[in-house]
Chains A and B, each alone.
Chain A
Amino acid sequence: MSISSGYRFVRHTAMALLVVAAGWYGGGAWAADPLGPFPVDSAQVSVSGISSGAFMANQLHIAHSAGIVGAGLIAGGLYGCTVDSVSEDGVFALASLAVGPCMSVPTLLRPVDFYAQLTADLAAKGWIDPPSNLARSRVYVFTGQADKVVNSKTVELGTSLYRTLGVPGSHVKFRDQDLPGAGAGHSWVTENFGNACDANAKPFINDCRYDQAKELLQTIYGPLQPPAVQPAGRIVAFDQTEFAPGKAAAANGLLDTGYLYVPKVCEPGAAEPCRLHVALHGCLQSAEVLRDEFYTKIGVNEWADTNRIVVLYPQAHATSVAELSSQDFLSLFDTNLQGCWNWWGYAGDKQFLTKRGVQVGAIWSMVQRVTGQGN
């Protein structure tokens, strides 16, 4: 009897521990601590991303151009690519524009003037910062020649849009060549981690013997100190739910937990303020899928360690129909089954590319929290 109950206790305890561990490891239901402030200069905030993360980084940069000094866009990014038209309460965007013209049929993209006009229209409504702020930005753009997911022409057009919006040519670094083999597949490129360079598969981190983190960060911040061999800072898990409307993170494509890399020199009480870089994963790359691979293996933390950069890794969530606030026929268009960042208006967000967008707003609130400007 006692043996049986003892066995049950051990079994239940083990199960409970497994559940807690699974929640932690998968960034799931386990509630992390609230995000706190760090000694960061709010005038030194930059953003980057790959694929849907690049489209989101682009949206963040253009929507908050007054507060972001530079952006790195890898295998994605053309502001308003999925927008068909603008209405009183937001934009009318289509998933079919995302998978069609934006990703695979660039001949159907509109001329760059269309996207420039869209940007001007959104700025006139006060939904995004004045694009004139972009003139002082520095931008790194990358597209691999073996990329079979997001067509390089879309990325090129995104670069043209930056120039049209007033970013000086000397502030834009566009890279699509000079890599070994057939060029990079759809991936964040590293010097020594990941798939073969021309792969287009999970984890979408490819070893091309090219230090993308270095070139991206140097384009934005200028010459950097050599990277750390082994990052000595700490990874902080934080609660993302407080940044979602009504704490409904899952319904809005946000994972419960986000991550922050804090170099030792950027801990509270540091003598000098640090910089903040926001790094956004792509579809199928969140902690739900890759665990800690994205926020520890893309080579950014090594450079952050020696260059006083705190790195924010917000996490998207794969949203199913059941998790949406309401279920009807239109819910089919509101899901986010691959855990992408919102660049086509899923979850019914008609403001996804502006300061009023749920995810743009959430990530910007995280930035403000880290820089000590938010609640």
Chain B
Amino acid sequence: MVDPSLSVDGGFGFLSDLIGIQMRNMEAIRQAQQKMLEGIGVLAKRQTEIIEGIMRRSVAEPTAVTSPDIRSVVSHQIESLKTTILENQANSNILSEMTARNSGEVANILQSRMMAALDEFKAAVDHAIPDKPSVGGFVAPAAVQPTSRS
């Protein structure tokens, strides 16, 4: 009724395929984590530079409030405020782009691996369960054995 060698071979082969898939999944997760950490490092470095820049410019900025001309004082303050707004917006954009690029790279790694893993799993199942059962019956590995055949 059942060819024991086919069953054992199919079971081990399928198990081996599953382990291979899982190993590659783990590798992809490791790569994604590494990319994420690199991204965090680059982001932190940029944030440090931004803070250093803000401190440097705040120290270098001359105080204009001593001018007797109120219009020049107001004008200077407005220009300062405009520059600060532009700088903040630019810094925010830079950090956002860095974050988005890093997230995108991580997502790409995980997504492409997930797609590959599904294809590999499908191939493993196809391999383990032939289209035409062998004469005398075929016992699929327990992990994917359809209940209707039990």
Contacts and interface: CB of A to CB of B under 8 A. Distances in A.
A101 B86 CA distance: 9
Interface in B32-56: 42, 46, 53
B90 A105 contact: yes
Given A105-B87, A107-B57, A333 B101 contact: yes
A99 B93 contact: yes
Interface string A81-104: 000110000001011110111001
Interface string B71-111: 00000000000010011011101101110110111011000
Interface residues of B, number: 22
B93 A100 contact: yes
Given A95-B97, A97-B94, A107 B87 contact: yes
Interface in A67-120: 84-85, 92, 94-97, 99-101, 104-105, 107-108
A100 B98 CA distance: 14
**A interface secondary structure, majority:** helix
A95 B101 CA distance: 11
A135 B86 CA distance: 37
Given A84-B42, A104-B86, A108-B53, A329 B94 contact: no
Interface residues of A, number: 18
Contacts of B83: 105, 107
Contacts of B53: 108
Nearest to A329: B104
Given A85-B42, A329-B108, A330-B108, A104 B90 contact: yes
B44 to A, nearest CB: 13
Contacts of A105: 83, 86-87, 90
B104 A330 contact: yes
Contacts of A330: 101, 104-105, 108
Contact of B97 (A96, A101, A104, A328): A96
A26 to B, nearest CB: 32
A108 B90 contact: yes
Contacts of A95: 97
Nearest to A330: B104
Interface of A: 84-85, 92, 94-97, 99-101, 104-105, 107-108, 328-330, 333
Interface of B: 42, 46, 53, 57, 83, 86-87, 89-91, 93-94, 96-98, 100-101, 103-105, 107-108
Given A85-B42, A108-B87, A328-B108, 20 more contacts: A84-B42, A84-B46, A84-B98, A94-B94, A95-B97, A96-B94, A96-B96, A97-B94, A100-B90, A100-B93, A105-B86, A105-B90, A108-B90, A108-B91, A329-B107, A329-B108, A330-B101, A330-B104, A333-B97, A333-B100
